[in-house]
């Protein structure tokens, strides 16, 4: 347990926050800081063919130790952390034998992680939790996954009696800004299939995700002196308000669950003369996803007609698609992960991701890639935490997947 804690803390205290507004790859130079350390760590534990390419992708191989032919499998995690909340100066707190009560993250600012609000905490009573100090995110998304893959490879190297085929691992940049798989070299990686270790709570196993698009709404107004504005001023912010109100008001993240899709307004910046709205559009069903995009455009068209001028311009760009289409034909890879969980005492929770992972894009690039839990909760904010016991179980699952894959071929 302490070995996992030490490795995880080492990684999360390195700021690797990505930047959605920078087209460079990777989007932040500081991601290289962790990448170089991971290269050294991979070499130190005995991984082979360790590479760090010009785009900050890390790949390495653990050669198989069986004589018969075995599929080559892979495990993938991302090194960047979310731009949604600061990742500078991460100061993790360790809470052994959690008592099920409120955890004071920051006494000065009265920031409390409470099971009254975050009920999942009660599942981990008696376990060791790692939390933030209330001023930053933690980075378990996805440095827990990085830690678990690294630890599992180290364990397999130290226990050659566990039989496995060739195993490929990769650590990617910029997953949090939707670019993590864009320049991923599937051919170089060389796996028949892979698993992202990027899920949340213990037992999650996912091979479905949202179809996703990003949308930008630009509204043009006209500024004149407000004292002489009658019949002349066009306030783009008021038009923006009409646009927002015209979308289905209950189809938003906080009022949807399961397979229900949504429109999410995540940023807005406005003055009288111009307002920009940034949305993401999500749905698991491709037909409904297509309808959502059409509805979004229709709202703009209807308002433009009402205004008598094309003041509202919409751009919609698809981001990724539901991996189910690519994984369903090879469902044995999900079955192996499910069996591995059961064998190490983890109850599988097979569900659809209300989001996306590198695996969704990689599946469409020819690398089927379901997603497995990394153990963290409350990602992208000050209340993020991870139970160390869940991280240990993720390591066990990775090892067991390798073992089952070799034994069933």
Residues recognised as catalytic: 80, 175
Q: For residues 70 and 166, what is the distance between their CA atoms, to the nearest angstrom? A: 8
Q: For residues 333 and 408, what is the distance between their CA atoms, to the nearest angstrom? A: 12
Residue 342 parent element (H or E): helix 332-343
> Distances in Å between the alpha carbon of 148 and those of 5, 108, 144, 169, 315?
11, 33, 6, 11, 39
> Distances in Å between the alpha carbon of 95 and those of 1, 139, 180, 248?
13, 17, 32, 43
Residue 101's contacts (CB-CB under 8 Å, 6 or more residues apart) are 115
Q: For residues 102 and 121, what is the distance between their CA atoms, to the nearest angstrom? A: 9
Strand positions, DSSP E, 285-376? 312-320, 349-352, 371-373
C-beta of residue 402 within 8 angstroms of C-beta of residue 238 = no
Q: For residues 278 and 270, what is the distance between their CA atoms, to the nearest angstrom? A: 11
Q: What count of other Cβ atoms lies within 10 Å of the Cβ of residue 352?
A: 15
């Amino acid at each position: 347990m302490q070995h996992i804690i030490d490795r995880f803390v080492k990684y999360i205290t390195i700021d690797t926050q990505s930047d959605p507004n920078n087209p460079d790859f990777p989007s932040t130079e500081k991601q290289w800081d962790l990448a170089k350390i991971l290269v050294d760590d991979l070499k130190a534990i005995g991984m082979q063919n360790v590479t760090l390419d010009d785009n900050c992708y890390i790949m390495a191989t653990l050669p198989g130790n069986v004589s018969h032919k075995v599929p080559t499998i892979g495990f993938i995690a991302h090194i960047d952390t979310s731009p949604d909340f600061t990742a500078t100066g991460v100061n993790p707190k360790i809470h052994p034998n959690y008592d099920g009560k409120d955890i004071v993250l920051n006494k000065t600012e009265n920031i409390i992680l409470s099971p009254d609000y975050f009920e999942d905490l009660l599942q981990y009573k008696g376990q060791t939790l790692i939390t933030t100090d209330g001023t930053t995110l933690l980075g378990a998304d996805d440095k827990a996954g990085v830690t678990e893959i690294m630890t599992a490879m180290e364990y397999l190297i130290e226990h050659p009696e566990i039989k496995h085929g060739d195993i490929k691992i990769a650590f990617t940049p910029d997953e949090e800004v939707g670019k993590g798989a864009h320049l991923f070299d599937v051919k170089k990686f060389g796996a028949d299939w892979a698993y992202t270790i990027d899920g949340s709570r213990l037992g999650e196993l996912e091979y479905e995700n949202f179809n996703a698009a990003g949308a930008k709404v630009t509204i043009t107004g006209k500024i004149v002196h407000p004292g002489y504005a009658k019949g002349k001023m066009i306030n783009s912010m008021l038009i923006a308000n009409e646009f927002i109100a015209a979308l289905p008001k209950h189809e938003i993240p906080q009022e949807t669950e399961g397979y229900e899709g949504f429109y999410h307004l995540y940023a807005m910046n406005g003055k009288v003369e111009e307002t920009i709205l940034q949305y993401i559009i999500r749905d698991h069903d491709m037909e409904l996803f297509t309808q959502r995009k059409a509805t979004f455009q229709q709202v703009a068209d209807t308002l433009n007609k009402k205004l008598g001028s094309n003041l509202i311009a919409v751009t919609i760009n698809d981001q990724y698609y539901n991996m189910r289409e690519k994984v369903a034909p090879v469902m044995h890879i999900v079955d192996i992960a499910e069996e591995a969980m059961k064998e190490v005492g983890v109850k599988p929770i097979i569900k659809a991701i209300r989001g996306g992972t590198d695996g969704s894009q990689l599946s469409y690039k020819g690398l089927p890639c379901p997603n497995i839990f990394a153990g963290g909760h409350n990602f992208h904010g000050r209340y993020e935490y991870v139970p160390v016991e869940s991280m240990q179980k993720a390591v066990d699952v990775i090892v067991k997947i390798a073992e089952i894959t070799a034994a069933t071929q």
